[in-house]
Amino acid sequence: MGSSSSSFPPRNIYLDVDGKVQKQVVFSRHCNPGDIKELLCSSSNLPNAPIKVINPEGAMISIDATMPTNSPREDMFQSVLSHVAEQFTAFRINELKTEVNNRLAALEKRVEVEGLKVVEIEKCKNDLRKLRDEVTSTSGSINCSCKYNFSDDGKKVTPRRDVPTYPKYTLSQETIDALKKPTFDVWHWEHNEMLSCLEFMYHDLGLVKEFNMNPITLKRWLLAIQENYRNNPFHNFRHCFCVSQMMYGMIHLCNLQLQGKLTLTDLGILMTAAVCHDLDHPGYNNYQINARTELAVRYNDISPLENHHCAVAFQILSLPECNIFANVDPEAFKKIRQAIITLILATDMARHGEILDGFKQNLDNFDFNNEEHVTCLKKLLIKCCDISNEVRPTEVAEPWVDCLLEEYFMQSDREKSEGLPVAPFMDRDKVTKPTAQIGFIKFVLIPMFETVMKLFPQIEEIMVQPLRDSRDHYEELKQLEDSMSQ
């Protein structure tokens, strides 16, 4: 019985009469009781006697099947059939249970293995990211060590279509108040907390409403921004947050959000330029031009890093799931894009004198309704925020000096190994912390902030005076170093 194509082998029943196996009946395990009965009847040319049936597992089943002379043979086989069916049914259920358990165990093992694979894959991804950054910092090649190669048209930024999952922090009123001040301590915050603070700033300034931003898109954009800052000692995501928080603080301190000063579009341009201003910074500065890197060649030695930051910023914004300006009129977006590019390019320190002088020319008759005047102001504001660490308390500012010197020394060591010119302020054999800071504070920071102070006198106490105190602090350290060396 049964098809030969069945995946289950046939089963045997043996009839034992008076201790002798008389007949072997072969049947499929899928036979129904009627089939078994028919098989037994067809092979029943046996005398009346006690019958034993050996079930498929080889166990002997005793059946008192001695028929009285007046009982029909059919009754005897009906009795045999009921006993066989009972034993066979139990056998099949047990076998099926074993098979199901085995399959479940195999599935559980597979799920466990696949889960471990996912963990291992994520670990490998993290290891690869770390390795890439290590190669970036140690590579001797003159090619630009940037994450993106723009030689093809494909997008290199990974799309984020999922709902961002970084925890939503509820900021206390104390934190909200502190965010508006230059004294804010940026070292006490994890990346997720900084993302939440940036998200709050966009909502608090009314930018989400002004540009009709999708709040989920804002989250995705901020995550993409964070992921595209490298783990450099100085030019990293914490520096991005530091500059953005200082911009947010200056907007409040100078009352730029008040009617009659800057528009909400201007504030959005300032904040977005601050967030994006150092995207994918490789950790080297004027090295690009001296080493004739890919970036320097592409941008004709004109602000190669700053142009690269702009390119990465708008590559992220070109992704629909990260485009916070998706609901802005196309013509308006063109102006916003150009304004953001202008501000990011203004962070090139090679243009410091040009930008400061341009603002000074408009200072005596500054007009907030004059677009050129406002553009000069915005360029100077982002410059102030970009190099504003010394405005903060000493315990917040001084660790940034250590981070910057570490990055400078990495660059100068590489330049020495490649026979390139080394800037004295980056040479570990020539510079100290006091000597690095005194000149920068005296001749760059204080003159620039004092110029802004002429338009916004309220910044003197909270921003300019801390710079003067920092200058005095490092001059005292310098005197101490000189006396020790003598």
Q: Is 245 annotated as a binding residue?
A: no
Answer yes or no: is 239 a known binding residue.
yes
User: What is the spatial distance between Cα 23 and Cα 45, in angstroms, rounded to a whole number?
Assistant: 10
Number of other residues whose CB lies within 10 A of the CB of residue 49: 16
Q: pTM of the predicted model, to two decimals?
A: 0.68
N- to C-terminal Cα separation, the chain: 109
E strands present in 266-407: none
Q: Report the alpha-carbon distance of residue 134 to residue 127 in Å, rounded.
A: 10
Opening angle at CA 121, ends 115 and 125, nearest 5:
150
Residue 63 and residue 51: Cα distance in Å, rounded?
A: 6
Query: Is-contact 55 13, C-beta < 8 A?
Result: yes
Tell me which of 131-135, 146-150, 446-450 is least confident.
Answer: 146-150
Distance CA 406, CA 410 (A): 6
Q: Tell me if 281 is assigned to a ligand binding site.
A: no
How many other β-carbons are positioned within 10 Å of the β-carbon of residue 368?
A: 15
pLDDT confidence bin for 129, thresholds 50/70/90: low
Q: Is 472 annotated as a binding residue?
A: no
Q: How far is CA 185 from the centre of its chain?
A: 24
Rounded Cα distance between 286 and 425, Å, is: 12
Range among 66-75, 277-286, 470-479 rated most confident: 470-479
E-only strand ranges, 358-433: none
User: Quick count: other Cβ atoms within 10 Å of Cβ 277?
Assistant: 27
192 within 8 A of 166, measured Cβ to Cβ: yes
Mean pLDDT of 308-337: 97
- The least confident of 225-229, 322-326, 432-436 is 432-436
Contact 410, 283 (CB under 8 A): yes
Q: What is the pLDDT of residues 21-52, one digit of tens each?
A: 655 556 555 666 566 656 666 555 544 444 44
pLDDT confidence tier of residue 206, bands split at 50, 70 and 90: very high
235 is in an annotated binding site: yes
Is position 238 annotated in a ligand binding site? Answer: yes
Residue 55, annotated as binding a ligand: no
The Cα–Cα gap between 328 and 334 comes to 10
**CB–CB of 304/288 below 8 Å?**
yes
Query: Could you give the CA distance from residue 120 to residue 307 in angstroms, rounded to a whole number?
Result: 37
pLDDT tier at 232, thresholds 50, 70, 90: very high
Q: Could you give the count of Cα atoms lying within 13 Å of 191 in the half-sphere of its Cβ?
A: 14
| pLDDT score, position 64 | 42
The confidence score (pLDDT) of residue 369 equals 94
Tell me which of 154 and 348 has the higher pLDDT: 348
Q: Are 65 and 80 in contact (CB under 8 A)?
A: yes
DSSP, residue by residue, 51-89: EEEE-TTS-EEEE--PPPTTS-HHHHHHHHHHHHHHHHH
Domains of the chain: 11-61 (no CATH), 185-406 (1.10.1300.10)
Q: Report, as residue numbers or ranges, the catalytic residues.
A: 235
What tokens were used for 332? 């308006």
Strand 60-63 relative to strand 20-27, pairing:
unpaired
* Rounded distance between C-alpha atoms, residue 415 and residue 418, angstroms: 5
CA distance 241 to 247: 10
Which range has the worst mean pLDDT, 67-71, 195-199, 208-212?
A: 67-71
- Which percentage of the chain shows pLDDT scores above 70? 67
- Whole-number Cα distances in Å, 429 to 422, 425, 426, 440: 11, 10, 9, 19
E-strand spans in 360-446?
none
Distances (CA, A) of 302 to 288, 307, 345: 10, 8, 10
